[in-house]
Amino acid sequence: MHEPTYRQAIANAWHLVWHNKILWIFGMLSAVLGELSLNDFLGRMWWLSDKSATNDWWQKIQITVQPIGGWTETVGWVWVGAIILCLTVFFTFIAVSSQGALIAASGEMFEKKKVDFSEAWKQGVKHFWKVLALNVFRGLALFFLTILFWFFCLNFFAMGGFSGFLCLAIFSCVVFILALAVSIMFIYSAGYAVLENKNIISSIRGGWLMFSKHLLVSCEVSLFFLFLNFVLIAILFLGGFIVFLPSLVVWTVAGLTGYAEIMVLGLILGFLLLAVFIVIAGGLLNAFTTTVWMYLFVKMRKEGVVSRIIHYIKKIIKK
């Protein structure tokens, strides 16, 4: 039996996602939890590096926690807090259950060659707490690595010179590798939790063992998705111009008729179309990413997956 290749993983995952649009919905709903790859960690580092974003975030917290006076205002804030809490719980449930359903649907398809999406959703709801706990563990680990990275960056920059640059480069590589390991372990652990119904400890142990056994393959796939995200960014820029074409038509009409209000309507239309485009593209990428990982997860348990680096090295040696 031939071991599956990356091309087969990509082809099978794309076929499943493209012909089952409900997976796009699962991908959109679970996108708030972050993509199943290293991009979530890189996004956190970029966010911390943007001083204006962190300052705005801190200012909003300071405004929110300012002292409030009067019992009527206090009751109002309690109601606002309760509403926000309820919405947070609701959307967390939807996002985590959708992620579990996406894992269950793709795993079932690759194992049994058929899928029942209603049953997949039930599996997502059933394993809600385990998937949520794994997301929390992953989030805390990546948050700790992000904070650690920026803390040491400040110290290494203060050192200056070649020694500071060398220390920063080495430490950056270490943090990158650790973040890569955490992200991949979460993917495999989620697969064990949903597809094999293992508890959290057993899922994490199984995720670590699978990662250590398929180290090269896991890293190669993560780097592939990192490259794919750069391609997606380019597509989003191109798509951004395309979705604004209807707005351009509206602005042209506004210029010919002299109605300035129509220009505002065109601007709103453009941003709405752009938001829809980004949500659909993000959901599709999230669904595709999860499906590829689950294909590899299923194959790793049964047949194994060939590392392309080792494959090419063997070909060179044989020559």
Tell me, yes or no, whether 37 lies in a domain.
yes
Tell me, yes or no, whether 32 lies in a domain.
yes
What b/e readout covers 107-138, taking b as 16+ CB neighbours within 10 angstroms?
A: bbbbeeeebebeebbebbebbbebbbbbbebb
Length of the chain: 319
Mean predicted confidence (pLDDT) in 55-74: 54
The rounded distance, in Å, linking the Cα atoms of 31 and 138 is 15
For residues 309 and 216, the answer to whether their CB atoms sit within 8 Å is yes
Count of domains for the chain: 1
Of 226, 225, 230, nearest to 293 (Cα)?
225
CA 9 from chain center: how many Å?
A: 19
Mean predicted confidence (pLDDT) in 166-175: 80
Tell me, yes or no, whether 139 lies in a domain.
yes
Backbone angles phi, psi at 21, to 5 degrees: -65, -20
Question: DSSP letter at 2?
Answer: P
Tell me, yes or no, whether 64 lies in a domain.
no
pLDDT band per the 50, 70, 90 thresholds, residue 306: low
Tell me, yes or no, whether 300 lies in a domain.
yes
pLDDT at residue 127, rounded to an integer: 93
Judged by DSSP in three states, 78 sits in helix
For residues 316 and 53, the answer to whether their CB atoms sit within 8 Å is no
The answer for residues whose C-beta is within 8 angstroms of residue 92's C-beta and 6 or more apart is: 132
% pLDDT > 70, the chain: 78
For residues 222 and 37, the answer to whether their CB atoms sit within 8 Å is yes
Q: Residue 304, exposed/middle/buried by CB under 10 A (0-12, 13-18, 19+)?
A: middle
Domain containing 279 equals 6-55+69-318
Tell me, yes or no, whether 225 lies in a domain.
yes
Which residue blocks in the chain are alpha helix, DSSP H?
6-18, 22-30, 39-49, 51-64, 71-112, 117-126, 128-159, 161-195, 200-213, 215-243, 245-257, 260-302, 308-318
Structure tokens at 312: 């090419």
Tell me, yes or no, whether 295 lies in a domain.
yes
pLDDT at residue 1, rounded to an integer: 42
How confident is the model over 18-27, as pLDDT tens digits? 888 889 899 8
pLDDT at residue 201, rounded to an integer: 92
pLDDT at residue 134, rounded to an integer: 93
Model-level pTM?
A: 0.77
The rounded distance, in Å, linking the Cα atoms of 316 and 311 is 9
In this predicted structure, the answer to whether residue 287 has a pLDDT above a threshold of 80 is: yes
How confident is the model over 173-184, as pLDDT tens digits? 888 888 888 888
Given its phi and psi angles, is residue 69 left (phi above 0), alpha (psi -120 to 50 degrees) or beta? beta
More confident residue, 159 or 23: 23
pLDDT at residue 61, rounded to an integer: 46
Tell me, yes or no, whether 1 lies in a domain.
no
In this predicted structure, the answer to whether residue 38 has a pLDDT above a threshold of 70 is: no
pLDDT at residue 312, rounded to an integer: 54
In this predicted structure, the answer to whether residue 167 has a pLDDT above a threshold of 80 is: no
pLDDT at residue 180, rounded to an integer: 84
Backbone angles phi, psi at 307, to 5 degrees: -75, 130
Lowest mean pLDDT among 58-62, 198-202, 245-249: 58-62
In this predicted structure, the answer to whether residue 192 has a pLDDT above a threshold of 90 is: yes
In this predicted structure, the answer to whether residue 44 has a pLDDT above a threshold of 70 is: no
Q: Is the dihedral of CA 296, 302, 303, 305 positive or negative?
A: positive
How confident is the model over 100-153, as pLDDT tens digits? 999 999 988 888 878 888 899 999 999 999 999 999 999 898 888 888 888 777
Cα dihedral 156, 158, 164, 170, rounded to 10, equals 10
